[in-house]
Amino acid sequence: MNKSIHHLLIRNLIRWRWRLVLIAFLVAISTSISILYGGMLQKFQAESIENIEPLNLPYDILVILSDQQAPRTQFDNLGTYRYESQGGVYRGRPSEIPITIQKAEEALALELQTPFGLWEVWGIDTENSSLQSEELLGEGAWPEVQGELWVPASYKEDFELQIGNTVPLFFVDEFGVKKEFQLVICGVGSSEYDLQKPQITMESAHWISGSKQPNRQILFSESFKYMSNWSLFNSKMEQMYPGATYIYKAMPQLQWQNLMKAVQNPGQWVLLLVFVFMAVSVLTISLMTFLERKQELAVLKTLGISDFQLSFVLFLELFTAGILGFFIGIRIVSFVSLVIPSYFADSSASISLLYLKNGLITLLFFIVAVIYPLLLAKVASVNQLLYAREIPLVVARYDHIVSPPTDWIREMQQERLHMLKMTVIDGKSLSVILKNPGEKVKTGEVVAFMSSIAGFYYQEWLAPCDGVIQSFETANGKYVIKPEDPLTPLYPYTGLIQTRK
Amino acid sequence: MMFFRLGFQNAWRNLSRSLLAVVSMAVAAAFFTYVISLGKGYVNQAGQPLRNMLGGEIVVYAEKTSAEAPKEKDRWLYHQGETDPFTDLPFLFPDLAQTGYLHIEQTTMGFSPGQLNTFTNTKGVDGVGAFHRLPAEIIQEIDPETSKTPIPEHLLIKNEDGTFRGPEITYRSGIQGRDWQTNSDYSLETFVSSGRWFEEADQNQWVGIVSANQTLPSFASVPLPGEIITIEIPSFVQKNGEWIADYTQAHRFEIEIIGNLNIVSRTVDYIKGIDGWVTEPVYAYLNEVYLPLPIWNQIWTQVAAGVSYTPTEVLLRVKDLTYLQDIVLDLQHAFPQYSFVDIPHHLERVHSQLSLEPIIPAGARRALEDRIDPFRQSVITADLRKPITLLVLLNAGLLVAANILILVSERKKEIAVLKAMGGRESELIRMILAEALLVSGVGASMGFFFIRIQAVLNQLTNPLGIMVILGLFFRDFFFVLGVTLLSAMMFGWIPAKKYASLPVMEVLRNE
């Protein structure tokens, strides 16, 4: 950096110290609040999951098939998991292992009206069913013949049932005809699995319902416990079983996480508001400072500082304040986490990510906020700075018509005239005309200008030749200049009509 | 006085430059206006027809399902299986029994009469009514002679004389008891397609009203006015504090149908061939039977062996819907052990499940089916209204301070001249503050009107007098204005004090 520019920067930093300190303070507050608040939300999310336990199921996935949906025989992979070999030649080398379904069973679930409310009873194929293991059985035996019923342990306690009890029940078929049956309890479950249903043989289910189409599919997968990409899992299941409901062990926790996200939703708004307010405040302060320093900037520009150098110095001033504020903010956060040791959730990786994310967002908002005054300082001319003229960010200058109509081109060629097109609406000119018909103009002289979009966009029309303004039509904006020298070359419009010599 | 005038003149002269401060104050006031519950209301007709079907504007469930920031003692459980038959869940959300939902472990047993009274003490709640429902089955004996579709032979039952009779068809329903007040205040009379709605004289009659649109098994038909239907209700036994339905000990009752309802669930717009956009109603299909409450109570007494009924769902009545969401939020904070849902949201969920709408005009089907959502449990969002408001006001105040600081610093000379002419410090502060107040006042009024207009439009549709609306309008306006002006005063005072206390010579020397 040029030495004098360096000095200028230092002097400015000292001179505007309180203004810059205010900016640093805002950035510091924004950084610390966003990190502390983000940390609080993270901790809340991490701790809240302890309020809910995963389901304890004797299978991995239960699919409640929708109407007319047949059980599947072929299964896609449900996702993959990362596996690092602990020994052998592949030790430490990670590989992606697919999560596959090893086994599937079908059940025919029936809704039965009993003396104990509505029961969902499963008809199971008794041969080699994983749902009829020794561990699950408890007392008695699994149903083997028609009319036998096995009930989970919780049913025994809730309804005071014993082996040998007869349970009268009704089944309403698809026609609405109610049939009465009796089932005898042959076994009672032992273990406390969740969502267990009473079981009968598949023959009993056929006998009661008259249907042979299973409506539940139970899936077993040894690698399902490694599942972590639940959105992929959901889309795979939706592909395999469109419209079906599926229940798996982690489902309550995932549902809970979604609910907690909704609970925290306003919290995200607070974070956004913190950033927005920081940006608005920094924008105001830097803009006001720019307005105050207009004359100083005009002097610098007069002395020969380039636009880039000027905006660079101003940027460094503001950026120094921003960075200072950022580090003060980080310091505040570390102070708070020292005073309250359990402030953040335990995972240090997620805290680093939080620092990085919120720090970057703060800086991003900060940079967006200071861009406008910096751009103004860059594009402003000395006159605009000194005499409080509007400083447009975009300037367009025309000495010809961008796409003239063919008849205008013909007229220009035949009459040897130069034309410009002013902006007119409903017969009223929006361009401010500086040179009226009859007045003389010199090449490059501004004949009209227009300022739009709250002064951000500025258009100027320049005389393309020395001459006299011949006419201006407010109906179509046609502005005609008759050149002093008829041989002044016309603007080389494309598609210029060639006249035959 | 002159200094006040000067302040106003200065602010007015520089209004274009003060734009940022004006806009930020407007945003702050708009947000503040929203927060003091002016943007969370509904128009008078919102949530219809569900409001009249259930008889209230806010549903309260004894089972806590609204998720909130968890407390340490709370344990949440996943429930899959039959939903509470005494609530509207079985007929509004029939899929819930399969998909399951989360609820808190310590569920209350229901609402005692004392608890119902406590709801009415909440500001904005005008009344409370328990929801009376029982699961039921409607029994129809099919006559093979009159049946529109031929009955398969295996369903026919042989009589002793060798002739055949049709089977007895059962389909699922529910009976809902409504007292006379509910029937008149939340009348479904406009939806009566045949027969009539309840009259006061019906209160002790075994009469009922059913929907003309029902989901029925093949041979059953919708009972018409004048027909007598048989309903079967299971016996209820209380065990470990829970009601268990004994379907094997059912009771039969006969009810005379006096009316059919053709309830329009919503209207849909869609493009229909050469007709272009058409608007068609979608009808609600439900198998429920509406009964007079005294009759419902008689049925309950019989099926529950005389044990009194403890409702597990309650409907709260709110006349003015302008503040409905906030009333729900306040109730939820006052009674965290229950779940509260306002009916417009409840209806939104019913619509997103299409549970009442098995038949949809073909052209609109796709659009509606695309909007099917899984059941969304209600949540109690963290109440951050106050911190957010504080943040907004703080920011707006900072902007006012920055604005005043710059404006004043640009007019140091002017201040010095005023001081030289004998202006006192307090007078100058007043002048500068007057400027801050004008900028903030303009901004705050803009923000207030921008947000408040929606609330006023809502209020105009609700049963409120024009004087009440004007009263509320100005009360809130002065409140918002007061708070924003106070904030502007506080933040404007700092730069005002700074410049007003500068000695004349110092100011002029630096210029």
List, as one string, the DSSP characters of A62-122.
EEEPPTTPPPPSS----EEEEEE--SSTTTT-EEEEEE---EEEEEEEEEEEETTEEEEEE
Q: State how far the Cα of B226 lies from the Cα of B208, in Å rounded to an integer.
A: 10
Strand partners, B45: none
Contact B169, B140 (CB under 8 A): yes
Residue positions counted in chain A: 501
pLDDT of residue B286: 92
Instruction: Give the helix/strand (H/E) hosting B243.
Output: strand B242-261
- Does pLDDT of A52 surpass 60? yes
Q: Which residue of B has its CA nearest to A118?
A: B82
- Low-confidence residues of chain B, pLDDT below 70? 1-4, 11-18, 20-21, 35-41, 72, 106-108, 375, 382-386, 399, 402-403, 405-411, 463, 506-511
Q: Which residue of A has its CA nearest to B17?
A: A288
Residue positions counted in chain B: 511
For A178, which of B170, B399, B402 is closest by C-beta distance? B170
Q: Which residue of A has its CA nearest to B401?
A: A285
- Does pLDDT of A444 surpass 70? yes
Question: What interface predicted TM-score (ipTM) does this complex get?
Answer: 0.77
Q: State how far the Cα of B300 lies from the Cα of B290, in Å rounded to an integer.
A: 14
For A115, which of B68, B246, B391 is closest by C-beta distance? B246
Does A120 sit within 8 Å of B218, measured CB to CB? Answer: no
pLDDT of residue B14: 64
Residue A456 contacts by C-beta under 8 Å, 6 or more apart in sequence?
A392, A393, A394
Does A269 sit within 8 Å of B388, measured CB to CB? Answer: yes
3-state class (DSSP) for residue B231: strand
Q: How many CB atoms lie within 10 A of CB A306?
A: 11
Does A260 sit within 8 Å of B398, measured CB to CB? Answer: no
Q: State how far the Cα of A199 lies from the Cα of A107, in Å rounded to an integer.
A: 9
Does B24 sit within 8 Å of A51, measured CB to CB? Answer: no
Chain B contact for A287, CB < 8 A?
yes
- Does pLDDT of A500 surpass 60? no
Residue B196 contacts by C-beta under 8 Å, 6 or more apart in sequence?
B225, B258, B259
Contact B299, B175 (CB under 8 A): yes
Choice among A119-123, A210-214, B55-59 with the minimum mean pLDDT: A210-214
Do β-strands B168-178 and B288-292 pair in parallel, antiparallel, or remain unpaired?
A: parallel
Provide the strand spans (E) within B298-411: 313-317, 339-342
Chain B contact for A265, CB < 8 A?
yes
Q: Provide the chain A residues 102-131 that lie in CB contact (below 8 A) with chain B.
A: 113-118, 120
Q: State how far the Cα of A334 lies from the Cα of A341, in Å rounded to an integer.
A: 10
Q: What is the mean pLDDT of residues A447-457?
A: 80
- Does pLDDT of A175 surpass 70? yes
**Mean pLDDT computed over every residue of chain A:** 84
pLDDT of residue B18: 67
C-alpha closest to that of B57 among B295, B287, B327, B275 = B327
For B384, which of A195, A256, A267 is closest by C-beta distance? A267
Does B248 sit within 8 Å of A115, measured CB to CB? Answer: yes
Chain A partners of B379 at a C-beta cutoff of 8 Å? Answer: 259, 262-263
Strand partners, B315: B59, B129
The overall pTM is greater than 0.80 = no
Chain A partners of B217 at a C-beta cutoff of 8 Å? Answer: 174-176
C-alpha closest to that of B407 among B452, B372, B439 = B439
Q: Which residue of B has its CA nearest to A177?
A: B169
Q: Which residue of B has its CA nearest to A277?
A: B395
Strand partners, B128: B316
pLDDT of residue A330: 86
> Buried b vs exposed e over A323-349: b needs ≥16 C-beta within 10 Å?
ebbbebbbebbeeebeeeeeebbeeee
